[in-house]
Structure 1
């Protein structure tokens, strides 16, 4: 009997995952979406300060490709400040109902302003206003102060020019945008009986595009 939820997976064989971990992640990600998991793109993002103090929080993966894994945030937040001083991070996805997890480690860079602009312009109006309103990670006296700040932001932009479709044009704040984690290590985990879980790890150095795959003990 499995007391931890989800089904016990069949063995993760060496042949199940190919030579490219990004493609393998894409397969698992689609399977997580098809399984009806709420926000399968939710991931734990871990950063650390220059003195090694770690911090972690949940964020949403926006996109991924051969270049890396992208999310968006306030560039003045704690995670962004730590990334700017120590541009290395780790991501963890955990899909409980599938008993699968993926760990990703690597270096982090800002994406281009053009990429950030394009995504910001695609966001709903309230999300744009929220980005302008929140001075992320800074103290605030109470919830009402945040709601009052949102109301002020809304009034600020209500009189701006509109598109032909009548949508309010709101520029992207310069303090908000995307980061891309360029992976140097990706590990796939599957739950197995007796805690003898399967772990397949891919690694490469920064100067190489070739991945080395190995099986790790649980």
Structure 2
């Protein structure tokens, strides 16, 4: 990458590295289900990519104001992609107002990307509790101590953390055996690829309304002529047994 600073208030990127992914990516070469294809790619990324579970999460307010941030992907089940957070955070409030989300994974080391668009739903409390128990003690205490996205003063988070430790009787020597319950305000969200409505067009994505969902796999190639394969959910297919239309789309 070459960077030029033509003026104090400007930055220009004039070139970038070339991509090349040797494995072919085409509708004929991918799995019939995008969830199966994601499992394959994610498994391969684990051996080559630092923190492959990092993903961009984009949400939109009821008034149409977008927001993006990176969170950690935690589970893929038969319905969709699961992550965990504070239910009173900005992202959760936006998901409650407008239950649609977009995810993006970028695996630089293997020149691959995955995009996901779908509706969201909360996972069950039992599933959240099961995951919460696997978190390190510090992370479980932090979930109780942080009023995520709220304005705080200097030292306030530490003070809250000290009070949480006192509340649950945490001593340093007891760190490995402490039982910290799941907060009522904390849990998982699942992004579920939905179907395309009858008013939508498979061929022209600009005509697809806000019910549109998709999963796209991107494989870097030279001269920006990247391979892109998109799965669109067939209308009327169930969350538990979805059917997919698979297309190659232009780079």
TM over 0.5: yes
Distance in 2 between the 1:48 and 1:73 partners? Answer: 17
Is 1:110 matched with 2:122?
yes
Distance in 2 between the 1:135 and 1:206 partners? Answer: 40
Match for residue 217 of structure 1?
250
Match for residue 190 of structure 1?
219
Deviates more, 1:200-209 or 1:151-160: 151-160
2:64 is paired with a residue whose SS is coil
**Residue from 162, 166, 170 that aligns with 1:151:** 162
**Residue from 108, 111, 124 that aligns with 1:96:** 108
Distance in 2 between the 1:12 and 1:196 partners? Answer: 12
What displacement does 1:151 show? 1.3
Structure with more of its chain in helix, by fraction: 1
Is 1:174 matched with 2:203?
no
Asked whether the 8 Å contact 2:234–2:245 carries over to 1, the reply is no
Distance in 1 between the 2:26 and 2:234 partners? Answer: 25
1:26 is paired with a residue whose SS is helix
2:141 is paired with a residue whose SS is helix
Match for residue 60 of structure 2?
48
What displacement does 1:18 show? 1.7
Match for residue 13 of structure 1?
26
Give the 4+ runs in structure 1 shifted more than 3 A.
3-7
**Structure 2: any 5+ residue segments left out of the alignment?**
2-14, 194-212
Asked whether the 8 Å contact 1:69–1:182 carries over to 2, the reply is yes
Query: Which one has a bigger Cα radius of gyration?
Result: 2
Distance in 2 between the 1:159 and 1:22 partners? Answer: 41
What displacement does 1:214 show? 0.6
Asked whether the 8 Å contact 1:6–1:98 carries over to 2, the reply is no
Q: How many residues align?
A: 212
Asked whether the 8 Å contact 2:61–2:94 carries over to 1, the reply is yes
CA RMSD of aligned residues (A): 2.1
Distance in 1 between the 2:71 and 2:17 partners? Answer: 23
Deviates more, 1:15-24 or 1:87-96: 15-24
Given the superposition, is the C-alpha separation of residues 67 and 201 from structure 1 closer, same or farther in structure 2, using an over 3 Å criterion? same
Is 1:76 matched with 2:109?
no
Query: Please, what TM-score do these two structures have when normalized by structure 2?
Result: 0.79
What displacement does 1:6 show? 7.9
What displacement does 1:124 show? 1.4
Match for residue 73 of structure 2?
61
Distance in 2 between the 1:109 and 1:131 partners? Answer: 20
Asked whether the 8 Å contact 1:200–1:216 carries over to 2, the reply is yes
Is 1:32 matched with 2:45?
yes
**Structure 1: any 5+ residue segments left out of the alignment?**
none
